[in-house]
Amino acid sequence: MSFQWPWHFDFPPFFTIQPNLLTREKQLQAWGQLVIDYCQFNKIFIIDVVEYRRSELFCNLKLSRNLDEEGIQAVFDYLEKQKHIEWTDSSKKRCHIFWRRVDEWAQLLHDWGVSSGLVGTVLTFADIVEDESNRNESFYNLDQDVLVKALTVLEQKGKAVLIDIGGVKGGVHNLLVQNFVNDNDFIKEGDEVLIYCDPDNIVAVTVKRGMAINMKSGALRHEFLIGKRYGTKLSATAGSIYALRPFPAIWTKVLKRHTQILYGQEVSMIINLLDIVPGDIVCESGTGSGSLTHGLAVAVGAHGKVYTHDIEEPQVKKIETEAKAHGFSDRIIPALRDVTQAGFQVQGQCSAVFLDLPAPCLAVANAIAAFDRSRVSRLVSFSPCVEQAQDLCATLSEYDFINIRTIELIGTTYKAETPIIYDISDMEKSKSSRKTIRRNAQNEIISANESATQYNDKKTSALIASPDKQPSHAGFLTSATLLSR
């Protein structure tokens, strides 16, 4: 469902503030109502005036008309007089937008508390605006500053009391931050956000007021992210960016390359070969960058486990920190361990094992010990060279594995293009003639004296790699099945 624009938004004079006082007052009233309705529909609580000057709210591309800066300021001055906004800075560039006035929010919250039987109970901010049971309430994901103002009104009326919990006024601040598990629609302070400039420029930031990020598209202050919906297109100082929620496929692209990394296409193939379903217990050896570990954690679901092992302590500490920050602390269990010597953390429990080791054949026996032998189990190993894969296949055969397969990883995405190729006679023609030929060919226009055969001879279909640079590396995936006993 998209926002329904009022009829006067397609009326050109609406974008010019009228000099007649009576007409001007009605026009500002219409603009003010449009701003309120737009913000309510999109659940916008904070507006940066400079940023919104170029937004669809004040620009009608169909009419090629927009409200100028003076007109926009007049609209916000009107909204301030009606107590629908409150400036957060002295320069009047950023404000809280109240599509309900603070006293209206206060009354709405009080009525909700009474009807829900919550009178006399203690609630945190998160209980009110982030609880899933309140998703259909208009105050769901309400900006915390607006929430505090509304609760302060209730406190002044003796209908609520703001208390300190852990030194924070009014309850627990940001109890539920955005991570790989939570699916909040709006960005809050403390959330981890992926800033997308282009496929080769993606940056992960933890939103914090007062901070700024510099990237290919310019600088962006973190305050501009707060209150925005995930997926929103935003303007930086030198271009546009998208604010995306964390997800393993994109997270892989922002990882620092301390080790050889498994990319998205390889991770998806590995998860497919492991036959993982929600609730599975999976063992991984060779944590590395944690790219695959994140994908496995999503695949096993809330009730599954990923036991990951590495012999490098920095990698183990890194994945432990990331698991906690990304909401996977109950799914990802890292260990500093050489599985070829000490075996895996679990015995007789897992349904799948992934190996990324210099000598995977030395870990096969310990992998079998980790398998739940009451069910069919899968083993997958990544090898950078074919000799290593051959040794592993021989070892798997010795341990009675079946369906042993090895595939080479050469993942490339192609697109079809039909470039125009000119013959010698074309090249001898004048410059203006060549332009005409090129334009006609692109529009598939064939002159009367040129046969379809001649025209087709000048066009050659081809598949080309797209994008030009596709991160990958040579390697082999070996998969095998161990039957139950």
Note whether 160 and 179 are within 8 A (CB): no
The CATH number assigned to the domain with range 186-246 reads 3.10.330.20
The CATH number assigned to the domain with range 256-410+476-482 reads 3.40.50.150
Phi and psi of 380, rounded to 5°? -130, 140
Angle of helix 291-300 versus helix 264-274 axis, rounded to 10: 40
Q: How far is it, in rounded angstroms, from Cα 359 to Cα 353?
A: 15
Angle of helix 313-325 versus helix 291-300 axis, rounded to 10: 40
Q: Where are the domains of the chain?
A: 7-97, 102-173, 186-246, 256-410+476-482
Give the total residue count for the chain: 485
What pTM does this model have?
0.53
| 102-173 matches 7-97 in CATH topology | yes
Closest CA to 423 of 464, 461, 455: 455
Mind listing the pLDDT tens digit of every residue in the chain (485 residues)?
678 899 999 999 999 999 898 999 999 999 999 999 998 888 788 888 888 888 899 999 889 999 999 999 999 999 999 888 888 888 888 888 888 888 888 888 888 887 777 766 777 777 788 777 787 888 887 877 788 888 888 888 878 877 654 444 444 333 344 567 666 677 877 788 888 888 778 888 888 877 888 888 888 888 888 878 888 888 887 888 888 888 777 777 776 654 466 766 788 889 999 999 999 999 999 888 888 898 899 899 888 999 999 999 988 998 888 888 788 888 999 999 999 999 999 999 999 999 999 999 999 999 999 999 999 999 999 998 899 999 999 999 999 999 999 998 876 777 777 665 555 555 555 555 555 555 555 554 444 444 444 444 445 567 777 766 666 667 899 999 999 98
Neighbours of 114 (CB within 10 A): 11
Note whether 157 and 123 are within 8 A (CB): no
Domain with residues 102-173, CATH architecture? Orthogonal Bundle (1.10)
Specify the DSSP class assigned to residue 373. T
Q: Which residue has the tokens 């800066």?
A: 69
To the question of domain 7-97 being in CATH 1.20.120.10, the answer is no
Q: Is 328 exposed, middle or buried (0-12, 13-18, 19+ CB in 10 A)?
A: buried
Element (H, E) at 465: strand 462-465
Task: State both tokens at 253.
Answer: 């692209």
Q: How far is it, in rounded angstroms, from Cα 196 to Cα 243?
A: 6
Nearby residues of 174 by Cβ (< 8 Å), 6 or more positions away = 126, 188, 189, 190
